Amino acid sequence: MDKKTDTGRILLIHPLGGNKQAAASDIARKANLMPPLGLASIAAWLEQEGLHADIMDFNADPASEALLEDTIHTTAPGFVGFSCTTSAFLDAANLAARIKQWAPGITTVVGGVHVSALREELLVRYPQFDYGVWGEGEETLCALMKGRTADRAGLIYREDGVVRCGGRREPGIELDRLPFPAYEKLPGYPERYTLPIFNYPRAPNASCLSSRGCPYACSYCDRSVFGATFRFNSAAYVYAHMRHLRDRFGIRHLNFYDDQFTLDRNRIMELTGLLVDKPLGMTFNCAARPDRVDPELLARLKKAGCWMISLGIETGDPELLARHRRQGDLDKLSKVIRMIKQAGIRVKGLVMIGLPGETEASIQRSMSYVHALPIDDLNVAKFTPFPGTPLYADIRSHGTFEEDWDRMDCMHFLFTPNGLSPQRLQALFMQFYKRHFMRPRILAGYLAMLWRSPDSWRRFLADAGSFLGFARNNRRWNAPPPK
């Protein structure tokens, strides 16, 4: 006989989503596997509040899904919570339905960016979920688990057969009140989770967050979870967080996954001062906007251990950039990239292909612009119109859109701008990468990683078959020039 469910216990699940059969050989997962930082933060908060939380990460360990039924029966959680991106939502819905069959008394809760974007619609369509969470999950889940029925803020729920939403929980939680995420609840942490190859000098490495939200309003970004707010941990908190990761888990390099790490200049000046005065022996990466860095700040970041800065280029076509991002200035961006390089910091460029209004000519302009820059690494994403983004509402007026949630992961061309085809977009996508990686300066840079990031080369050689297979299966690299 199964145990009686424990209403003070929750099992938090990070679904795999996508093509499970291909997960073992998925090159994207081999190159970069990020921990579910949101779930780890929620788990730590719930534990602090006298509740108990466990985490199962099927994205990191797909085989562990076979243990789910036994885990449900042996630990008997009163709640099961899922955190979902769009591409993982249907997988979560399937798992929730199975859990309801195994243990009908369990309360199922779903949150994440996809839920915050679509809210009531999802509970109407997917009755296997008892509740949804709009926005941040820590305080909302805590109130639900403790039975505070009058506290509906942030909760999507059913009442008298109607799905209702309690509205966004305001204000957002003060981030310095949060305990450090419960990394120890992630099986295999930190070795199982890896940053992109050639994006770090040393291992073990990890990702963390030191802020929430973004004040900018780009057409392709979703702000359903945090709204238009931007909140951040203090410099003292960030320093203590870094020291915790070093002392507890031996982390030697950290990737700050913040949208805008340098947005508050005073915070970064204080943090770099702490890292210089009391070194932790760690290096780090971060992301920044061109208007939020300057020579003095870059010099301090370098001295404090900054190894690489990522910048959102998005497109090298000025008209397309102006259409989708405010204050986009390609001339200023190129100057800032050179400024970062002069400071001795590596630069990673983030580009998107297939935005509404994209043409072959605009993609070629992007290639010419990016390949003239002294960037060290490049990430080219396939534009995907996610629910909650400004573009989503009328996306079909700009082209064709196959809204297949399982494949909405920026790895497939599901949206095709008018005048192009998915096949042509794929050919240009591969050409973009080939031109980047075949340049002598870039090849020399990766060769230098033999001593600058030896663990990256170890990983690359260990999975060389997967990387070469990816190249063989994408032979459209040599796309002909536009007519």
Instruction: Classify residue 135: in a domain, yes or no.
Output: yes
What pLDDT is recorded for position 2? 53
Exposed / middle / buried, residue 51 (Cβ in 10 Å: 0-12, 13-18, 19+): buried
What pLDDT is recorded for position 358? 97
The candidate with the shortest Cα–Cα distance to 97, out of 126, 137, 131, 59, is 126
What pLDDT is recorded for position 471? 52
Instruction: Classify residue 129: in a domain, yes or no.
Output: yes
Q: Does 288 lie in the same domain as 211?
A: yes
What CATH number is given to the structural domain containing 158? 3.40.50.2300
Q: Of 143, 165, 187, which residue is a domain's last? A: 165
Cα torsion 153, 157, 163, 169 to 10°: value is 20
Model pLDDT for residues 415-472, shown as the tens digit of each residue: 999 999 999 999 999 999 999 988 999 999 999 999 999 999 999 888 766 655 555 5
- Is the confidence at residue 32, as pLDDT, over 90? no
Model pLDDT for residues 326-373, shown as the tens digit of each residue: 767 899 999 999 999 999 999 999 999 999 999 999 999 999 999 999
Instruction: Classify residue 482: in a domain, yes or no.
Output: no
CA distance 170 to 119: 17
- Is the confidence at residue 19, as pLDDT, over 80? no
What CATH number is given to the structural domain containing 415? 3.20.20.70
Residue 462: strand, helix, or coil: helix
Q: How confident is the model at residue 479 (pLDDT cuts 50, 70, 90)?
A: very low
More confident residue, 40 or 18: 40
Q: Who's near 92: CB < 8 A, 6+ residues apart?
A: 13, 15, 17, 82, 84, 110
Looking at 177-305, which runs of residues are DSSP E strands?
205-208, 211-213, 230-232, 253-256, 283-288
What pLDDT is recorded for position 25? 57
- Is the confidence at residue 1, as pLDDT, over 50? no
Q: How confident is the model at residue 144 (pLDDT cuts 50, 70, 90)?
A: very high
Model pLDDT for residues 76-118, shown as the tens digit of each residue: 999 999 999 999 999 999 999 999 999 999 999 999 999 999 9
In which domain, by residue range, is 15 found? 6-165
- Is the confidence at residue 222, as pLDDT, over 90? no
What pLDDT is recorded for position 191? 94
Q: Does 358 lie in the same domain as 282?
A: yes
Q: Does 231 lie in the same domain as 143?
A: no
CA distance 288 to 311: 6
Instruction: Classify residue 117: in a domain, yes or no.
Output: yes
Q: Does 376 lie in the same domain as 237?
A: yes
Quick check: 272 and 300 in contact, CB under 8 A? yes
Q: Does 328 lie in the same domain as 390?
A: yes
Q: How confident is the model at residue 226 (pLDDT cuts 50, 70, 90)?
A: confident
- Strand partners for 263: none
Quick check: 82 and 51 in contact, CB under 8 A? no
Q: Does 154 lie in the same domain as 214?
A: no
User: Averaged over 27-39, what is the pLDDT?
Assistant: 84
CA distance 309 to 429: 23
What pLDDT is recorded for position 171? 84
Quick check: 195 and 231 in contact, CB under 8 A? no
Instruction: Classify residue 158: in a domain, yes or no.
Output: yes
What percentage of the chain has pLDDT greater than the value 90?
83
CA distance 110 to 13: 10
Instruction: Classify residue 205: in a domain, yes or no.
Output: yes
Q: Does 229 lie in the same domain as 124?
A: no
- Is the confidence at residue 227, as pLDDT, over 90? no
What pLDDT is recorded for position 172? 86
Q: How many domains does the chain have?
A: 2
Instruction: Classify residue 340: in a domain, yes or no.
Output: yes
- Is the confidence at residue 179, as pLDDT, over 70? yes
Model pLDDT for residues 239-282, shown as the tens digit of each residue: 999 999 999 999 999 999 999 999 999 999 999 999 999 999 99
CA distance 142 to 111: 14
Q: Does 236 lie in the same domain as 154?
A: no
What is the biggest distance separating any 2 CA atoms in the chain, rounded to whole angstroms? 70
Exposed / middle / buried, residue 411 (Cβ in 10 Å: 0-12, 13-18, 19+): middle
- Strand partners for 254: 206, 284
Whole-number average pLDDT of the chain = 92
Looking at 155-289, which runs of residues are DSSP E strands?
155-159, 162-165, 205-208, 211-213, 230-232, 253-256, 283-288
Q: Who's near 3: CB < 8 A, 6+ residues apart?
A: 73, 74, 76
Quick check: 69 and 77 in contact, CB under 8 A? no
- Is the confidence at residue 169, as pLDDT, over 70? yes
